[in-house]
Amino acid sequence: MDARASITAGEALTEVLRLFDRIESGRAGVDAATRLEWVRLARVVHQRSGALAAVLTGEADRAQASERVAGTPLASWLGRGETLSRREASGAVAQAKALVTHPEVGQAAVDGRLGAGQVRSITRVLDGLAPQLDAAQQTAAEQVMIGLAGHLDAEQLARAAGTVLAQVVPASAEELRETRLQREHEAAWRDRSLRFHFEGASVLFDGSLPRLEAETWLAQLDAHAEAARRTRLEHREAASDFATPEQRRADAFIAMLSAVDKAKPVAGVGGARVIVKLDYQRLAEGAAEAGVVGDGQPLSAGELRRVCCDAEVIPAVLGAASEVLDVGRAHRLVTPVIRTALIVRDEGCAFPGCGLQPALCEAHHIVPWWAGGMTALPNLVLLCHTHHGLVEPAKFGLRDQWQVEIADDGLPQFIPPRRAGPDRRPLRRQPAGPEPGSREPGSRECVSRERGDPGTMDPWRSASVQT
């Protein structure tokens, strides 16, 4: 039989299962490079098989196959044959319906051109744009999104609505963009909810908050969590290091509830802020939307005006190539200002592939303090606890380790250790950034959640811009 001949989905899946049954269980002697290669191959197989499962599920749902054969909805049929909860089964059917609605996305996922996260982001953006586009424009938008997926990850694709509108309906892109943002904001307020469920000695809860308000709440949670972490370190409570991130956040929430009638955290011991980056040129031109919140999520004109009136929100005005022109200050002390500038620049842990939020990061001196390094923006970089340990130089330079430097454009880049091979080209974390294509080149606008950072720092002054 011709190896290139097409086979049915059932034949392919049966053959895959047969091969899985033949996999050797002993892998003790496998070298490290081969292990990593297998991890990559396994992830590709997982993504493509997952995409095929979703497409087949969507096609079965559209054909009402479970109703015809078993007399039950497809979600119920899935739950009967597998150990799926009702929520998991319903989620699988909902995802499958999205792929059937966008067949080109589904086929690209099955072909291995899209990952699962990219698929979710693309379908979410396309569904959000659908009310504003006719059938032909929706098809064009789907093709644009698939093309963008070649160089954008899932988080960047989730912010690509502006790019899609600019390519599909360039004449009315800005108006449609503002309309979409306002519609999303109104929908978020309509959908706000908080539900409690009692289960034994626990209280379970879930709900939905508008993005901007949720950012402030998360900033407070992260501030309390960081303050608690530092307290544990000071008291050497090693046992508490075994808490999971979810448990630490729960502890922070409990601490917030206990302190709500007393006082909120202050800068330097876990104070929380929300930083909104504003493009100075767009502000000067009176653009409808010049700022972004969340991980690059844009603000509508109404939200932006409200943010600028909030004393707990710090506006950071950016000029060409995203240099900081002005940083608002909640306190007179210098330390919060330097950290704010650092957050504006790095947007979280700057190590390649990380990006952990600023509240959980530390300011690292590139040239150490003990070696005469200054506490100034060109000598600082935000790093999470894990990656801080990778780049922190030993006093006598005995380790083969990662190195960090500030490049000519003012952004941090990392040089791999010698053991990584002869090619030690500097690497950078891909910035969260704004909606692709929605800003001038070099602009990196987003919101960061900040906590105050204890310690004495030298003054850092920014140019003041009058608006």
The C-alpha atoms of residue 123 and residue 117 are separated, in whole angstroms, by 10
Q: Which residues form the domain of 149? A: 38-189
- In this prediction, residue 164 has a pLDDT band, given cuts at 50, 70 and 90, of very high
pLDDT tens for each residue of 349-372: 899 888 787 877 888 888 876 677
* Nearest residue to 381 (alpha-carbon basis) of 351, 356, 401: 351
Asked whether residue 23 is domain-assigned, the answer is no
- In this prediction, residue 331 has a pLDDT band, given cuts at 50, 70 and 90, of very low
For the residues 23-43, what does the mean pLDDT come to? Answer: 92
Q: What is the pLDDT of residue 461?
A: 26
In the chain, how many H helices and how many E strands? 17, 12
Asked whether residue 466 is domain-assigned, the answer is no
- In this prediction, residue 118 has a pLDDT band, given cuts at 50, 70 and 90, of very high
**Is the CB of residue 316 less than 8 Å from the CB of residue 324?**
yes
Asked whether residue 248 is domain-assigned, the answer is no
pLDDT-above-70 percentage for the chain = 71
Q: What is the pLDDT of residue 15?
A: 93
Q: What is the pLDDT of residue 300?
A: 63
**Would the pLDDT of 442 be above 50?**
no
**Is the CB of residue 326 less than 8 Å from the CB of residue 314?**
no
Asked whether residue 416 is domain-assigned, the answer is no
User: If you write DSSP's letter for every residue of 345-410 in order, what string do you get?
Assistant: HH-S--STT----GGGEEEEESS-GGGT--SSGGGEEEEEHHHHHHHPPPTT--S---EEEE-TTS
Asked whether residue 307 is domain-assigned, the answer is no
Asked whether residue 145 is domain-assigned, the answer is yes
CB neighbourhood size of 53 (10 A): 16
Asked whether residue 342 is domain-assigned, the answer is no
Q: Whole-model pTM? A: 0.55
Asked whether residue 60 is domain-assigned, the answer is yes
Q: What is the pLDDT of residue 122?
A: 94
Query: Minimum mean pLDDT among 164-168, 244-248, 314-318, 389-393: which range?
Result: 314-318
Query: Minimum mean pLDDT among 110-124, 144-158, 338-352, 404-418: which range?
Result: 338-352
User: If you write DSSP's letter for every residue of 201-263 in order, what string do you get?
Assistant: TEEEEEEE--HHHHHHHHHHHHHHHHHHHHHHHHTT-GGGGG--HHHHHHHHHHHHHHHTTT-
The C-alpha atoms of residue 192 and residue 28 are separated, in whole angstroms, by 51
Q: What is the pLDDT of residue 21?
A: 92
Structural domain tally of the chain? 1
Q: What is the pLDDT of residue 171?
A: 87
Q: What is the pLDDT of residue 242?
A: 67
**Would the pLDDT of 238 be above 70?**
no
**Is the CB of residue 412 less than 8 Å from the CB of residue 321?**
no
pLDDT tens for each residue of 257-299: 777 655 554 444 444 455 666 665 555 555 544 566 555 566 6
